[in-house]
Copies of this chain bind each other. A is one copy, B any other.
Amino acid sequence: MIRASCISKTYRGRTVLDGVDLSIERGEIFCIVGPNGAGKTTLLRILDLLDRPSYGLLQILGEDATGSESVRFRIRRRMSMLFQRPVIFDTSVFDNVACGLKFRKMGEDEVRGRVKSALREVGLPGLERRRAKELSGGEMQRLALARALVIEPEILFLDEPTTFLDPESANIVNDTMVRLSRDRGTTILFTTHDLYEGERIADRIGVLMDGRFSQISEALEILHHPADLRVAKFVGFENILRARCLSWEAGEALLDLEGQKIYAISGGRCDGDVFVCFRAESVSVGVGEEPIASPRNKFRGTVTRISAFGPFVYITIHCGFDIVAMLTRRAMDELMLDLGSEVWASVKATSMRVFAGAGDAAKKTGTEKH
């Protein structure tokens, strides 16, 4: 459906996209995540043929999409896009949604029927006659979504579709996306800042950073095997610790972490200064005797901070260095943890990731590139 290679985009000398390669199949749901300013919107605009890339090849729906305007128009007619800040026309809700259908010269009855069902789909049934500009933020967002859906595109681009939506509406929209892809074979590309949303509905996730995909793979892979340190930080590896590589053998590294020895699985050979990373939920917490069970990496420490996150709790354990662990509230109650509690924290070698520690790489974040 979409074959993009080496797409670049430069605005007045500033490079925003820097050689994006992407290939998406029919019916796939592809999620783009990445920090603000990474180029997500820019990429979607190029794929929806609203902007031309400064450089690169682009094939969409089997046609070369870098050519004449008439070809681009033909392709564009088979796609639609929900913008990050959707424009709502100052007309009725009905006229807003019917817009794309009228452009296609569809008969009035069919327009009415389709608009009605699109509005139902996004949870705004019966609002046809309302003035669109008077809707609430979330209602407008859903209106814009209905407007993009109603033309039944073969490819659908959604730039942060669940912004402004309440949890229930967000679920409805997510379900709709899944249904479209499954039942109608609609190809969907969407962006989000909610990784779990991506995980829930996308077939693959691409992490866009500094105008380039750092990693494209299935959600679990990205959540647990980030390609590099920045991705790890981005996907929420709460524990990122400086360590030194002592030895490496058959994919297992022995590291020195502030004097403690730890084992980590590491695909690539490691050496010198590294970062070792693991998720807070990979940390098991126990009290009392040293656990005998499998995890070879065990640290003893004190609880120095507890912060709630819905039904979960993040606790910070100081054991020379700080480790963040995540528990269910129930587990915490059962362990009777409190600030100052002495605990054991253990992490499996397979949950640890090791990345080369190129100087200040750990500090580099998306927003600081300006």
Q: Name A's B-contacting residues (CB within 8 A).
A: 11, 34-37, 40-42, 84-85, 123-127, 134-139, 142, 159-160, 163-170, 193, 195-196, 199-200, 219-220, 223, 233-234, 236, 279, 281-282, 284, 307-312, 326, 328-330, 365-367, 370
Contact = CB atoms under 8 A, between A and B. Distances in A.
A223 B138 CA distance: 23
Given A160-B137, A281-B329, A200 B367 contact: no
- 8 tightest A-B contacts by CB? A36-B138, A281-B311, A84-B137, A196-B310, A35-B166, A37-B136, A123-B367, A36-B166
Contact of A199 (B142, B169, B308, B330): B308
A292 to B, nearest CB: 16
Contacts of A166: 34-36, 193, 234, 366-367
| Copies of this protein, total | 2
A11 B130 CA distance: 12
Residues of A contacting B: mostly:
mixed
Contacts of A310: 195-196, 199, 223
A309 B200 contact: yes
Contact of A168 (B234, B284, B308): B234
B282 A41 contact: no
Nearest to A159: B137
17 contacts: A34-B166, A35-B138, A36-B136, A36-B138, A36-B142, A36-B169, A37-B136, A41-B136, A41-B137, A84-B164, A85-B137, A137-B160, A167-B234, A168-B367, A169-B367, A200-B308, A281-B329
Contact of A127 (B40, B328, B330, B370): B370
Contact of A163 (B139, B164, B367): B164
Given A365-B168, A367-B168, A281 B328 contact: yes
Contacts of A34: 166
A196 B234 contact: no
B167 A193 contact: yes
Contact of A164 (B36, B136, B236, B279): B36
Nearest to A169: B36
Contacts of A200: 307-309
B139 A308 contact: no
**Of listed A160, A163, A284, residue having the most chain B CB within 10 A:** A163
A35 B138 CA distance: 9
A111 B328 CA distance: 47
Nearest to A366: B166
A16 to B, nearest CB: 9
A281 to B, nearest CB: 4
B193 A170 contact: yes
Contacts of A35: 138, 166, 168-169
Nearest to A351: B330
Given A164-B193, A196-B310, A223-B310, 20 more contacts: A35-B168, A35-B169, A36-B165, A36-B166, A37-B136, A37-B139, A41-B136, A85-B137, A125-B370, A126-B370, A160-B164, A166-B234, A167-B234, A168-B365, A169-B367, A199-B308, A199-B309, A200-B309, A279-B311, A281-B328
